[in-house]
Amino acid sequence: MADATMTRPSPQASARREAGAVVLRTHDLTKRYGERLAVNNLNLEVYRGDIFGFLGPNGAGKTTTIRMILGLITPTSGSVEVLGQDVATHRAEVLPRVGALVETPALYLYLSGRDNLRVVGDALGGVSDERIQAVLQMVGLAARQKDRVKTYSLGMKQRLGVAIALLNDPDLLVLDEPANGLDPAGIVEMRDLMRRLSAEGKTIFISSHVLGEVRQICTRVAILNLGKLVTESTVEDLTRGQGEFAVQVERPREALALMQAQPWGKSARIDEANGTLITQAPNGSGRDLNLFLVNLGFAPASLIPQTQDLESIFLTLTNNTAGEVR
Ligand SMILES: Nc1ncnc2c1ncn2[C@@H]1O[C@H](COP(=O)(O)OP(=O)(O)O)[C@@H](O)[C@H]1O
Ligand SMILES: [Mg+2]
């Protein structure tokens, strides 16, 4: 039931924070293009083991942020820390520990998937055949490794892009819209891949302008709009409802009248579709609501905290550009 225990961070989340395992941190990160603030004072913290969803409509500033994280462009002000080191001053130490896929991967279409990995591996100073086989296995392309990339589906190309990002066995994987343009099957494959990589201990920072692509896999999300952070939280916290409960009791109309007489029960109502009572709770506590009902002889058959759909939260939080959000 939704009482105080649900508002505390999970024990795992607390342990992560105490261990100080911050993999990526931005400090007042800002990028200005002329008059336009593409990224505006962004403060983010990504912890080891997170699958961190970096969400926002087109033009929100996601790619610009990612380019600054990777040291590809210089911030106007503020800084980025990866694994405790400033990216601007420790680029050479930091970048080998980060794997990235920004927008679509640059691939040689007439080479096989495996040979694409060899070419990139050589550019990195040599990567073993074992490693190449391991990453092909990881992204589910081992069976197609000898085929030319031009015969690959978009989803396979994207996964080959992830394989390239994985070649040097990075701690942090930064993926800019890896599911963009994929069909539903491709999105599912990409999600499965993210889950596998997370299980292997990678920290994943993944951007998307389509919430539905990533919400099932993200441990935490930040929502960016017009360069500014709108909210940062766990998916669970974000989707928690406005403290309402759906309650099933016998004789709901009698129970409703009793609730509406309470200071906390003014908004109580019956969902006519299924006869369920929808109500706030005394002290915001499901336990207290249960006690209230039991004491009056309405032992609930069920009492369920209501959650708000993440899609509608996303739209509300970014509503000034809602037209661009799918
Ligand atoms: N090189 C650039 N010059 C000028 N404006 C840019 C440049 N890159 C991005 N922008 C602008 O910055 C804003 C954020 O862009 P971007 O980071 O690509 O957003 P997203 O990846 O979230 O779609 C947009 O308004 C975009 O037009
Ligand atoms: Mg982008």
Of 45 and 3, which is predicted with more confidence? 45
Which-ligand-closest: CA of 102?
2
What's the pLDDT tens digit per position in 193-225? Answer: 899 999 988 999 999 988 777 878 998 999 999
Q: Are 178 and 140 in contact (CB under 8 A)?
A: no
Closest CA to 299 of 243, 249, 234: 249
The pLDDT value given to residue 320: 52
**Lowest-pLDDT choice from 96-100, 129-133, 216-220, 307-311:** 307-311
Burial 9-42 (b: 16+ CB within 10 A, else e): eeeeeeebeeeebbbbbbbebbbeeeeebbbbeb
pLDDT band at 107 (very low <50, low <70, confident <90, very high): very high
| Model confidence pLDDT, tens digit, residues 227-255 | 999 888 887 777 766 678 999 999 999 99
Q: Which of 30, 32, 33, 104 to mutate for ligand 1's pocket (most ligand atoms within 8 Å of CB)? A: 33
What is the 155 CA–ligand 2 centroid distance (Å)? 18
Mapping DSSP to helix (H, G, I), strand (E, B) and coil, where does residue 178 land? coil
CA angle 276, 278, 279 (to 5 degrees): 145
Inform me whether the pLDDT recorded for 124 exceeds 70: yes
Mean pLDDT of 45-66: 93
Enumerate residues lining ligand 1, CB below 6 A.
33, 36, 38, 56, 58-64
Q: Which CATH architecture has domain 9-237?
A: 3-Layer(aba) Sandwich (3.40)
User: What is the residue extent of each domain of the chain?
Assistant: 9-237, 250-300
* pLDDT for res 307: 74
Cα 62 to middle of ligand 2, angstroms: 5
The residues that bridge with 38 in the sheet, in sequence order, are none
- Residue 178 identity (one-letter amino acid): P
What's the one-letter identity of residue 113? G
Give the per-residue pLDDT at 2.
38
pLDDT of 43 reads: 96
- Is residue 161 predicted with pLDDT exceeding 90? yes
Q: Could you tell me the pTM of the whole model?
A: 0.77
Highest mean pLDDT among 182-196, 251-265, 308-322: 251-265
> What is residue 242's predicted lDDT score, i.e. its pLDDT?
66
Instruction: Give 304's strand partners.
Output: 246
Cα(282)–Cα(286) distance, integer angstroms: 8
Residue 186 has a pLDDT of: 85
Ligand 1 pocket mutation, candidates 39, 55, 58, 64, criterion most atoms within 8 A of CB: 64
Residue 5 pLDDT > 50: no
How far apart (Å, rounded) are the C-alpha atoms in residues 47 and 45? Answer: 7
**Whose Cα sits closest to atom 18 in ligand 1?**
63
Full DSSP string of 189-203? HHHHHHHHHHHTT-E
